[in-house]
A and B are shown apart, each in its own frame.
Chain A
């Protein structure tokens, strides 16, 4: 009886922390989806840009002694500006280039950002304090970490902001139109190239949140985001790479599955990365459009 209760208890805890991890994957997956929709390219540098932003937050907190919340907001703004600058400086010269070229550009960006972070901050692991207390509270008979709840709450806020922006603002509407129908949008006066830069800014800002949420869980170092990027890809592919809502659902599913794999399979902690790859391959094999994606349709 007692044993059963503790099994359920531990299972529920795993699910909650899986959802929290999934929320982090979801933010980065959403960032990937934003850029994929705008230019049909998977941005392999998305995780590294998030890592770089997290180092910026780290510097603001440890060197400039800013309070966490201020550093958090400032980092998001700086990440937005950084995303815009990266697009203007690195991506824009390749406007209209084949997709493969752009993919290579994002791979180059991956190594550049990674190396730059190593150069500036070094490769020694750093601790990045969590804004949330390390205590647990009891919710419906289950002990859940405030840390996990906090991460989930922050992600929900970010998602709400992003979705409202796209749904209810003129600029958000124009960005959607420009991403889906660049030619028609230009005829309506939309500066599509600027919209793309804004999209990169927005993706970088959303990614920065995932970086700042993951850093307290792992350690801060230049390679911190690489597994997260893999899981974010799994989430985005699972949800449907064109679907922002799908990427969030995919993130949560991947997060929970990984938590369960890590806990209940023998040697599970080492199976997490292969498992992420298995998800990607399985989805691409059996349901390429993902859960919410539209089936590929090309007009002939």
Chain B
């Protein structure tokens, strides 16, 4: 059974319907991508999962019905959501951002180990731990956002456009890291990306969204060969 399962998920913002019955599964231990143009409903899908928009249908995570639960309760089930704009706690220090990532945890010793672990992933963090996160560059803020999400020890990581505004080399670095963590620790990842070619390299499976519906799904390699995907999203 999949760790995350979306069935007929419909979401509306006031009079505007953003999702028209999304069907998707994220198997445990996999990386799955949601692709699509602006306004296709990718971000809304993530927000519906973490309870930030009201929706109907069914969303099951790890055996729990999470539809319309409060975001804080979904987080407490082990879902770390790095939202659009990275959710940086800008006035707080880098270190406080990481501590807030582990806010729901009570296992202090393991939290300490995890702080060391993320500092291993991002060696610049210890030197800049006392700086307000607002002073970090966009790339550093993205890394901090991922580090903060990892501090929650999530079962599922939701990433919203991790490549947005970053230099390609940095994107590569971040994606390699996500892949490594997925491989080594079995972390399940659902990533939203506009950059389809990058996303298809990162993920094992992908869903293509158009105006609030899944129009295509499949293994990444298969989708990368698909002619309409190539024309619409890969640009060749």
Contact = CB atoms under 8 A, between A and B. Distances in A.
A181 B89 contact: yes
A188 B92 contact: no
Interface in A190-204: 190-192
Interface of B is mostly: loop
A298 interface: no
Given A170-B99, A173-B96, A186 B75 contact: yes
A273 to B, nearest CB: 35
A184 B141 CA distance: 14
B72 A192 contact: yes
Contacts of A191: 72
A177 interface: yes
A187 B50 contact: yes
Interface residues of A, number: 17
A187 B76 contact: no
A184 B91 contact: no
Contacts of A183: 52, 71, 83, 87
B103 A188 contact: yes
B131 to A, nearest CB: 16
B86 to A, nearest CB: 9
Given A173-B96, A177-B89, A187 B101 contact: no
Contacts of A180: 89-92
A174 B100 contact: yes
Given A181-B87, A188-B104, A189-B72, 18 more contacts: A170-B103, A174-B103, A177-B96, A180-B91, A183-B52, A183-B71, A183-B83, A183-B87, A184-B83, A184-B88, A186-B72, A187-B50, A187-B71, A187-B75, A187-B83, A188-B103, A188-B152, A190-B103
Interface of B: 50, 52, 70-72, 75-76, 80-81, 83, 87-92, 96, 99-101, 103-104, 148, 152
25 contacts: A170-B103, A173-B96, A173-B99, A174-B103, A176-B92, A177-B89, A180-B89, A180-B91, A183-B71, A184-B89, A185-B89, A186-B72, A187-B50, A187-B52, A187-B75, A187-B80, A187-B81, A188-B75, A188-B103, A188-B104, A188-B152, A189-B72, A189-B75, A189-B104, A190-B100
